[in-house]
Structure formats: C-alpha cells, structure tokens
Amino acid sequence: MEKLFKQINQTIMAELRDGECLGLGFGGEQSAFTRINAAKVRQIGNVDEADLGFNLILNGRRATGSISLSGDLDEDLSRARGELQRLRTEVVQLPEDPYLVLPESKETSRSEKHGNLPDAEAIPGILLPAMGNVDLTGIWASGRVYQGSANSSGGYHWFASDSFSLDYSLITPSEKMVKATYAGTEWDQAAYEAFLADSITKLELMSLPPKKIEPGDYRTFIAAAGVSDILSMFSWGGVSEAAIRQSESCLGKMRNEKVKLSSLFSFSEDYSSGFAPRFNGNGEVAPEKTTLIDGGELTNTLVSTRTAKEYGVESNFASEGESMRAPSMAAGSLKESEILASLGTGVYLSNLHYLNWSDMIGGRITGMTRYACFWVEDGKIVAPIENMRFDDSIYSFLGENLEAVTEKLQINPDVGTYDGRELSAVVCPGMLLKSFSLTL
C-alpha cells in the first residue's frame, strides 16, 4: 500500500502547475469482520478498501475531494488525474478563503507496527468454541489500517498498524448484560480464553434479582468505560477552539465566565500511548501532550492552524474538526480495592449508553446506564439495577460533585467502524461522584 501511495504521490506532484499547492491523504484498511449473535456466526466477511484525499490550493482558494483507489497503479493514476482536473476546474470558481492553510509542513515520519493476527478463515474456529453455552453477541474486527499524508512541499508521513478486537456483550437468560473488549496486536489463544472466562464470571453477579430504583440524586461510581463515553462528548461542542469562539461549546462558560471544574479533573490530548498517529490531514505533527483542563481549569483547547489563522492564536496542529485523537484523563488516588467502601450506599455504573447534550451551552448531558450497573449498600453489591436515564451537568458532576478519581487508568479502544476502523483509544480512570441525577 505504501508503494502505491508513494508512486501516486510522486507522479501527481510532478504534474502540478505553477502556483498550485497540493496535499494528499491516504486512508485504507484490509479488514476481517465476524459478527456474532448467541455465540454463533451471524455475518462474516472481509473488506479491502483505500481512498486518496486531495487538498488543492490555488490563488488563495481551496477545493478538496477524495476518490476510491482500486490498488492497480495505472487505474488509480488515471482516477487521480481525473480528480485533480475536476478540482482545477472547480477551484477557480470558488471565493477566496481568508483562513487558508497551505499544506507546507516539510516534516516526515514513518511508523509500521506489525502484529500477529489470525487468518480470516480461522476466526470462527478460534473464537467460538471457548464461548461454550454463554449467550454472547458482538463483533470481531482485525487486520491492517493505513494512513498517509504528503504535500507538494515535500512533507511525508506513513502509519500502518495491525490490530484485532473482539467487542462483546454477555447476556443472562433474564437479560442482564456484561460488556467487554479484548483487543491487541498479538493474538494469544490462552490469554483470550482467560479474558473471556473472567467476563463470564462477572456475568454470574448479574443473576441476582434486579432492583428498581426511583429517579433522584445518588452517590455514584462510574467505571472507566462509562467515563470514556463522557470524555468523548468533549469532541463534540467541547475542546474545539473554533466551537468556543462560535458559541457552540459546553466549555464556553469556563472561557468566558471563568467557571472551574473540580481540581481532581485533569484532561489532555496525549499521544504517548501510540494508538493514533500524531500527524493531521495537513501533515502537521501535534505535540506529544497538550493539557486541556488542568486541575479543573481550562488551560488549552485544540487549535487547528485554520482556527489559529482566523482568531490570531497559536496552532497546536489539531485536525481540522478539532476533535480529540488521543484523549487522556489523569488518574487520582482512589484504590480499586476501596471503590465500593468509598461509595458506601449508591449506584455503581459500569457502562453508559447513547449520550447527548441536553443543553450543550449549559454543559448538561443526558444518557442511559447500561450493562453491569449495581445498587450498592454499605460498600457491598446488593443487586443489579434496571437501566436508568441520567441528566446532569458537567459543571456539577465534574465540578463540586466529583469526590474521587481512581488510581488505575484503563485503555478503552475505540472499536468504531463508521468511517473505517478507528485507531484511537481513550485512556481514563473511574470516578466517584457525591451526587448524580437519575431522572427516568
């Protein structure tokens, strides 16, 4: 794949005319998917795809596009030339773009991570027998993901990574569920079977008769998987500098009214875990770590070079949408062994579901509890709870109601596949809240 990208890059860049600046972005994957329901194969297949993005700039104007690549060099060069021609015709018709960013980063990087992945045909045979009689539903995804970036100033980046993930739910006959993700780069059959056996053990806790709780404010522990869903909301009307400037951010209050969150809450964009490449679509390389919220104070936002130009601030080479690519929340001091005792009486939430801003500017989020969620009394798990709706503001539950943060950090891989297999992961702890509002 890299050879194809390099050949197209060299050929197309050599054909540019005076005054034209071009950025190219490569994305591709060779993926094996197995969809499982009731520990049987529901659907199985492979997908090979690659696309090439174009960012053409001429006389202060910009037109962009992307095409599918077939893998055949002659065919793909012909498609690439066609797209360049289309962009040339279009770009002269467009208005001038005052916040234009020239793709002029000259940096280069290369990263290839090879794993040890099972063959696609072998997957049902290695996954399913270990499931035994448990009702398991989920998705296996494996294979190589590619990203590349190049520009007419000579910048060049290549990133390729092998990975696998089995994201699954275990379900009891009374419809109580436990969620887990087994992910990595080196397949280890024994480790997989041990991991699965451990989640089957957790499922047994769910067979206790469920307790229905009434709407109200409760002491609440949210485990890392649930915290990662909350943190992901900051990519949407959150840490983007453009969103704050354009009055479309929940953090506007922190900037404009100097409101603070809890001193226990620190949050950054941190690439040190290595899941996602540091270069953006323009080939600009982000700092390894950018602290966004430090001890409850908004210290930085994600700033793309385009936003930097518009508002006269400094870029930290965020992607154009200024969403997080490597979210990471700092650990606290609550020991795993002390979570239940510290919670005392309240609810323990393993996972959340379907989050949305119920009032973005006010910082209020609604969503559901899901999977292994329990009623805890005097530090002991008493019963699983029926799923509840929550609706509460980050300025409360990440503010004065944040009582403690766990010492242990968890890596929550993004198993999303809408735009192809995601590469990122949210690194975060669990958190204990003095009060959390359950509404329905």
Q: How far is CA 123 from the centre of its chain?
A: 25
The smaller minimum CB distance to other proteins, of residues 40 and 380, is found at 40
Alpha-carbon gap, residue 221 to 197, rounded angstroms: 25
The smaller minimum CB distance to other proteins, of residues 18 and 74, is found at 74
Q: Of 235, 319, 410, 417, which lies in the binding site for other proteins, with binding defined by CB under 8 A?
A: 417
By CB under 8 A, the residues from 2 to 31 that bind other proteins are 31
Q: Min. distance of Cβ 223 from other proteins in angstroms?
A: 17
By CB under 8 A, the residues from 385 to 414 that bind other proteins are 387-389, 391, 393
By CB under 8 A, the residues from 187 to 216 that bind other proteins are none
Stretch that binds other proteins, among 143-151, 183-191, 282-290, 383-391 (CB under 8 A): 383-391
The smaller minimum CB distance to other proteins, of residues 86 and 408, is found at 86
Q: Of 10, 42, 59, 154, which lies in the binding site for other proteins, with binding defined by CB under 8 A?
A: 42
Alpha-carbon gap, residue 67 to 78, rounded angstroms: 11
User: Residue 384, interface with other proteins (CB under 8 A)?
Assistant: no
Stretch that binds other proteins, among 5-13, 19-27, 85-93, 281-289 (CB under 8 A): 85-93
Number of residues that bind other proteins (CB under 8 A): 86
Q: Of 10, 15, 45, 188, which lies in the binding site for other proteins, with binding defined by CB under 8 A?
A: 45
Q: Of 15, 97, 186, 188, which lies in the binding site for other proteins, with binding defined by CB under 8 A?
A: 97
Q: Of 17, 18, 19, 95, which lies in the binding site for other proteins, with binding defined by CB under 8 A?
A: 95
State how far the alpha carbon of 161 is from the alpha carbons of 152, 188, 281, in Å: 25, 18, 18
Q: Is 399 helix (H, G, I), strand (E, B) or coil?
A: helix
By CB under 8 A, the residues from 220 to 279 that bind other proteins are 246-248, 252, 257
Residue ranges in 212-259 assigned as alpha helix (H): 224-232, 241-245, 252-256
Spatial strand order of the sheet with 289-294 comes to 297-298, 289-294, 267-270, 327-329, 425-428, 410-413
Stretch that binds other proteins, among 2-10, 61-69, 199-207, 290-298 (CB under 8 A): 61-69
Q: Min. distance of Cβ 119 from other proteins in angstroms?
A: 9
User: Residue 439, interface with other proteins (CB under 8 A)?
Assistant: yes
Residue 290 CB burial class (10 angstroms; 0-12, 13-18, ≥19): buried
Per the CB < 8 A criterion, the answer to whether 283 and 23 are in contact is: yes
Beta bridge partners of 217: 437
Report the phi/psi class of residue 280: left, alpha or beta, with left for phi > 0 and alpha for psi in -120 to 50: beta
Alpha-carbon gap, residue 236 to 249, rounded angstroms: 8
Q: Of 177, 298, 334, 340, which lies in the binding site for other proteins, with binding defined by CB under 8 A?
A: 177
Stretch that binds other proteins, among 148-156, 163-171, 204-212, 331-339 (CB under 8 A): 163-171
The smaller minimum CB distance to other proteins, of residues 108 and 137, is found at 137
The smaller minimum CB distance to other proteins, of residues 6 and 61, is found at 61
Half-sphere exposure of 38 (CA within 13 A, CB side): 2
The smaller minimum CB distance to other proteins, of residues 70 and 342, is found at 70
The smaller minimum CB distance to other proteins, of residues 10 and 68, is found at 68
Q: Is 271 helix (H, G, I), strand (E, B) or coil?
A: helix
By CB under 8 A, the residues from 341 to 370 that bind other proteins are 353-359, 361-364, 366-368, 370
By CB under 8 A, the residues from 107 to 146 that bind other proteins are 120-125, 128, 137-139, 141
N-terminal to C-terminal alpha carbon distance within the chain: 51
Q: Pairing between strand 216-222 and 346-359?
A: parallel
Within 8 A by CB and 6+ apart from 36, the residues are: 42, 127, 128, 136, 137, 138, 139, 140, 168
Q: How far is CA 27 from the centre of its chain?
A: 17
